[in-house]
Structure 1
């Protein structure tokens, strides 16, 4: 009887967005097995407490380490991560794997203007306008598209960043992820959706991953019931590319895989300097049963086009 079993413990960061992702995993599981008991375990990470430059904490791994450690130590059965925050240059803890990816949500970035702003779109912003963003990838692409803007990095949860935008008046607008805003109930604040041609998303954008201990075969099989196969194909292509580039947390790397209307697997990859002045670009296609091969090919193509020099030229 499921009622006699201990609850499945799902661990995540304590930010509103991370807890929303954990609930999404729980809801997806209970939609398949309604009687399964689930317990949420919030884990406050170093990355959540640190408001400085993430590179000083070892990059995006600062959001991963404590949650992953709780999984390895047996404090939780499933660790939930935003795949865009899972670094490409740090291996997963030994004996763990991603058993499930939820269906991908909106990968696009959006513009959020401060309350009372007379502007609604990026093109309306005059030269010198101050824009805030948390990602070097966004900063590089913003400056590539609009080198006349003043772009600064701003840390914190999405809701805290928007509150700061409205209250302090330091910035005219922020660039944030569309699906992330939806997770915290702030989708209505977006005034413009930026096309992927202007703002190529990060690897793993819009994807929630569920990490498990591979020795827990029962949990692995349970999670495989809710794994989205299309998302897995896309994430495999993107993350293979990311591993091949060996970028660090300050590397502005963008990558997006999708399935075309005629059933081909498409992968676009980009590597930028921090100000967007130099970049390498590759866009290739392959069959949907060859995501790792496509990811490796795009990484090699980017390296041939100078990506290694761009990445190595950016301080860690």
Structure 2
């Protein structure tokens, strides 16, 4: 997950107080405030109380994300169920040291050091830019940018473009990486509102914020990741697109140095009408996502797409690539 969105829940709408949990980082608060603002416009009679908390990923800053051994580093303290809504660009962005302003990765001097905490980004970019060096960098966006600007350690760092835009720092984006350059992370750019699975009142309330395209893309991406048993400790990447009722999913797995990889694209129709009547599958979750305003058949098709694409890669040797990557990462 790129930076996780806020979690909502408490005693339901009837209590007139809705507590919204969030990470303490500036970006998390900005994202939380945007969701709360939308909910307040829809429910002006409710009081939304924002509760900031520190997560496992916030507390452990001296260890690479891929080595902590916990899949829910930034969400475990907030998790119960998952809702998706509108999605910012999922692309990765390059932020350059001031001395390299105006350059691109291909124009940086040989042996330039690029900072990233993502095995996915490093694996792909090592293959495309073998002349560059990639080094781990941790901390929130403010911390990473400070390390970049005030020290000479990094020539550039790779961040999610969505986070930079939400912080109002779009002007720091020196280069956007297309999916041809770097496939992005599962769910990157999508805001998540996590809700207790049985809290129907809150589920109904946040369902109004759903974006149907984002829901289907994220279901496909998450199903792909789940079937591969992926996570922060292995390089798994995706790209999705919905066009003319067809959902396209590109998925890939990489060795740590990017020298070995598998990449395939599949598509499926998701052109199903939304049923107005509540049915027995009205509250069915697809890979942790409950989307009441998106056709159930479309969600099922998206999930099947992710599973089938992952199965195709597994049949071609993805399990071996990921197993070796996981072992090497643990040994480093």
Q: Does 1:308 align with 2:292?
A: no
Task: Report the alpha carbon displacement of residue 215 of structure 1 after superposing the two structures with TM.
Answer: 2.0
Structure 1 counterpart of 2:161, from 174, 178, 181: 178
* Residue number in structure 1 paired with 2:263: 281
Match of 2:172 among 171, 189, 199: 189
Secondary structure of the residue aligned to 1:201 is coil
SS in 1 for 2:105: coil
- Secondary structure (helix, strand or coil) at the match of 1:106 reads coil
Matched with 1:71 is none
Gaps of 5+ in 1: 69-95
Aligned with 1:162: secondary structure?
A: helix
CA distance in 2, matches of 1:263, 1:228: 15
**Aligned pair 1:263/2:263, yes or no?**
no
1:7 pairs with one of 6, 12, 17? 17
Check conservation: 2:228, 2:314, Cα contact below 8 A: yes
1:36 is matched with 46
- State the Cα distance separating 1:19 from its structure 2 match: 1.2
Equivalent in the alignment of 1:79? none
Whole-Å separation in 2 of the counterparts to 1:129 and 1:110: 17
Report how far residue 4 of structure 1 moved. 8.6
Cα contact 2:64–2:117 (8 A) shared by 1: no
User: Following superposition of structure 1 onto structure 2, how do residues 118-129 of structure 1 map, counting pairs within 5 Å?
Assistant: 119-129=102-112
Say if 2:152 is the partner of 1:169: yes
Structure 1 residue 292: Cα displacement = 1.0
Deviates more, 1:181-190 or 1:128-137: 181-190
Provide the rounded CA distance (Å) in 2 between the counterparts of 1:110 and 1:269.
19
1:253/1:3 Cα in 2 relative to 1: closer, same or farther (>3 Å)? closer
Q: Which aligned pairs between 1:64-143 and structure 2 lie closer than 5 A?
A: 64-68=75-79, 96-98=80-82, 100-117=83-100, 119-143=102-126
Q: TM-score, normalised by structure 1?
A: 0.86
Picking from 25, 29, 34, the partner of 2:35 is: 25
Residue 283 of structure 1 and its aligned partner are, at CA, apart by: 0.5
In 1, Cα distance between the equivalents of 2:20 and 2:165? 21
Match of 1:220 in 2: 203
SS in 2 for 1:97: coil
In structure 2, what is the equivalent of residue 89 of structure 1?
A: none
Q: How many residues align?
A: 286
- Corresponding residue for residue 284 of structure 2: none
Structure 2: unaligned runs, 5 residues or longer: 1-11, 271-297
| Pair 1:4–1:240, CA change in 2 (3 A) | closer
- SS of structure 2 residue aligned to 1:123: helix
Instruction: Tell me the equivalent position of 1:77.
Output: none
How far did residue 47 of structure 1 move?
A: 1.1
Q: Is the 8 A contact 2:118 2:232 kept in 1?
A: no
Which residue of 298, 302, 322 maps to 1:291? 302
How far 1:31 moved relative to its partner? 2.8
Give the conservation status (yes or no) of the 8 Å contact 2:66–2:234. Answer: no
